[in-house]
A and B are shown apart, each in its own frame.
Chain A
Amino acid sequence: MKLFRWKKSRVGKSALLLLPIVLFLILFFVLPYIVILALSFLKEGVAGLTWANYRRVLLDVYYFKVLFNTFLLGIGVTFLTLILGYPCGYFIAKTRSSLKGFLMFLVISPLLVSIIIRSYGWMIILGRTGLVNTLLGSLGLINEPLKLMYNWTGVVIGMTQVLLPFMILSISSVIENIGQELTEMSEILGATKFQTFVGVILPLSLDGIASGCIIVFMLTLGSFVTVMVLGGNTMVMSLLIYQQVLNVMDFNLASTIGTILLVTTLIFLYFQVKLIKRKGIGYAAKT
């Protein structure tokens, strides 16, 4: 009984340890988002709350096109990372060779390197006098340099490379959890390797695919640096926010686009949390 009371009072004291972080996050994390949300419903010269900013963003052809392009970019990059990353994730999960460590290093190390450095690397590769054009030119395959950057091509290539590790890691972590017995059983029952893959592994890795797609899509929507460095005149939501704040100084419109971005992210986050709760996808929780 005495022990119990001692423990109880310690819980009360421990709650104090949570106080600084909670207060800090409310002040500098929750409040700024609320400010954005509030500003999106205000407009200069209009009294009270208004939907005017939302109407403007969704009905104006230019702004709507930016939203549309951003989502299209998200879908495109998600699709590419899935196609390019799935076999690698599968290999990392299944192999027993020494390649595994090397591949893990290759996949994880870019995450520690600044996105600016990686995007800058792509500038050197894709530019007019870059690696690809020099190579193709000296082989006589092209007469004029290809325009590979300062357009969507450059953005898609750069973003795919930047976000590929997230896809590979969430797929490999799910495939690793598929029991060896299942694939062995399938092969004992006479299925070919391909049949085992289509009938057993692919369906069981759907959660990893979903989780990887959600992460990559969310990160594409919010991405900023790669588009700024490789994009030229291409416009996405995050860049539009930047422009509205620093050039046009229309804080209400910037807040509106920001709120759309935030709400979209929250919706996808909700699905991701549901996925994690269902299967306990290890990696997804970390990103």
Chain B
Amino acid sequence: MLPKRRRGAFLMKGYLVLLSIFLALPMVIVVAVSFTSASYTHFPPRGFSFKWFFHVFEEPTFVMGIYNSFRLAFATIILSNLIAIPAALALVRHNFRYGNTFQSFFMSPLSLPMIVLGVGLLLFSSKLGMGLSFWVLLAGHVVITIPYIFTTVFGTYRGIEPNLEESSRILGATNFQTFRYVTLPLIKPGVIVGSIFAFIMSFDNVPLSIFLTGVTSVTLPVAVLVYLQDNFDPSVAALSTMQLFCIILGLYILQKLYGLEKLSNLGG
């Protein structure tokens, strides 16, 4: 029998190991299954092959979904940045009377049920006679990504001394020059991190896209979800492995560029 104190620590370790397995298992298993050579999803996987990775590109809805999702996500982050950055800059440097209210308003798309927004946008756009237009889908994605870009830019800019911009103006730079050559380089880390989060959120979104896409505008997660209703082969595993690889690669590049510890503080 272990002494009481050691027993507690032992229990804690056992629990943490089990919890880690619980958290990581679904992702680990998806990667493992994607290299199977069997024709159905089974665990443990049988054999080793890359065939399901090739199969992903033979499935027309996946290819179309990948193309549409990338196009949508890029358009989303561009528009989201254009709208959110000016607001974040203005709220940091000036004491608006309802500054906090504005801030909560810009963050609120994170908290309200997205599926209701999806239906609302669908019904709203059909009332306007726009139907399933790309622009409505884009607008919805911009709404849900605004909080990420707003909060990271706000956090970054708040940590920057106003003196730098004032010096620039005193030295004769115009407002635009100050923004372009002083402010923008300083807030760049916040913009990049916010954009990456926004990209992921747009790329993975289901509750909006499922209502706002049609056959030709289908996004990847919607295509996968529809595919999973009837099929359970390892091609979805292969697709997921590729997606995981991209996320890890993206985080690695971020880490190299800025250091993750610094980035995780930006959200505050």
Does B164 have its Cβ within 8 Å of any Cβ on chain A? no
Q: Quick check: A21 and B206 within 8 Å, CB to CB?
A: no
Looking at the assembled complex, report how far the CB atom of B149 sits from the nearest CB atom of chain A, in whole angstroms: 10
Residues of A within 8 A of B87 (CB): 17-18, 20-22
Of A57-65, A176-184, A223-231, the one contacting chain B is: A223-231
Residues of B within 8 A of A96 (CB): none
**Chain B 209-243 interface mask (CB, 8 Å, partner A; 1/0):** 01100000000010011001000100011001001
Q: Quick check: A36 and B119 within 8 Å, CB to CB?
A: yes
**Contact-residue size bin, chain A (C-beta under 8 Å from the other chain):** 35 or more
Residues of A within 8 A of B105 (CB): 22, 25
Task: Tell me which residues from 208 to 239 in chain A have a Cβ below 8 Å from any Cβ of chain B.
Answer: 218, 221-222, 224-225, 228-229, 238
> A103-B16, A262-B113 are known contacts. Are A193 and B91 too (CB-CB below 8 A)?
no
Nearest opposing residue in chain B for A260, CB measure: B116
Does A245 have its Cβ within 8 Å of any Cβ on chain B? yes
Looking at the assembled complex, report how far the CB atom of B105 sits from the nearest CB atom of chain A, in whole angstroms: 7
Give the docked Cα–Cα distance between A159 and B27 (Å): 15
CB contact between A32 and one of B22, B124, B236 (< 8 Å): that residue:
B124
Does A49 have its Cβ within 8 Å of any Cβ on chain B? no
Give the docked Cα–Cα distance between A262 and B118 (Å): 12
**Chain A 9-24 interface mask (CB, 8 Å, partner B; 1/0):** 0110011011011101
Q: Quick check: B143 and A29 within 8 Å, CB to CB?
A: yes
CB contact between B12 and one of A91, A123, A228, A259 (< 8 Å): that residue:
A91
Does B184 have its Cβ within 8 Å of any Cβ on chain A? no
Residues of A within 8 A of B12 (CB): 87, 91
Looking at the assembled complex, report how far the CB atom of A243 sits from the nearest CB atom of chain B, in whole angstroms: 11
Q: Quick check: A287 and B110 within 8 Å, CB to CB?
A: yes
Q: Quick check: B247 and A36 within 8 Å, CB to CB?
A: no
Q: Quick check: B16 and A110 within 8 Å, CB to CB?
A: no
Task: Tell me which residues from 125 to 153 in chain B have a Cβ below 8 Å from any Cβ of chain A.
Answer: 127, 139-140, 142-143, 146, 150-151
Nearest opposing residue in chain B for A229, CB measure: B228
Residues of A within 8 A of B109 (CB): 25, 29
Nearest opposing residue in chain B for A218, CB measure: B111
Give the docked Cα–Cα distance between A129 and B25 (Å): 16
> A18-B102, A124-B237, A134-B44 are known contacts. Are A118 and B86 too (CB-CB below 8 A)?
no
Give the docked Cα–Cα distance between A116 and B243 (Å): 11
CB contact between B142 and one of A28, A164, A245 (< 8 Å): that residue:
A28
**Chain A 115-126 interface mask (CB, 8 Å, partner B; 1/0):** 111111111110
Residues of B within 8 A of A255 (CB): 119, 123
Give the docked Cα–Cα distance between A238 and B211 (Å): 12
Most chain A CB within a 10 A radius of its CB, from B115, B140, B203: B115
**Contact-residue size bin, chain B (C-beta under 8 Å from the other chain):** 35 or more
Does A200 have its Cβ within 8 Å of any Cβ on chain B? no
Task: Tell me which residues from 36 to 87 in chain A have a Cβ below 8 Å from any Cβ of chain B.
Answer: 36, 39, 84, 87
Residues of B within 8 A of A21 (CB): 83-84, 86-87, 106, 146, 150
Give the docked Cα–Cα distance between A165 and B117 (Å): 25
Looking at the assembled complex, report how far the CB atom of A234 sits from the nearest CB atom of chain B, in whole angstroms: 15
Residues of B within 8 A of A91 (CB): 12, 16
Does A146 have its Cβ within 8 Å of any Cβ on chain B? no
CB contact between A222 and one of B22, B83, B114 (< 8 Å): that residue:
B114
Q: Quick check: B27 and A28 within 8 Å, CB to CB?
A: no
Task: Tell me which residues from 99 to 115 in chain A have a Cβ below 8 Å from any Cβ of chain B.
Answer: 99, 103, 106-108, 110, 112-115
Q: Quick check: B33 and A14 within 8 Å, CB to CB?
A: no
> A20-B86, A122-B26, A225-B206 are known contacts. Are A32 and B237 too (CB-CB below 8 A)?
no
Give the docked Cα–Cα distance between A131 and B29 (Å): 9
Of the A-B pairs whose beta carbons lie under 8 Å apart in the complex, a sample of 26, sorted by A's number, is A25-B143, A29-B109, A33-B112, A36-B116, A84-B22, A87-B12, A103-B20, A106-B20, A112-B251, A113-B27, A113-B243, A114-B221, A119-B26, A120-B30, A124-B33, A124-B41, A129-B40, A131-B43, A193-B5, A193-B8, A222-B113, A222-B115, A224-B206, A229-B225, A241-B115, A241-B116
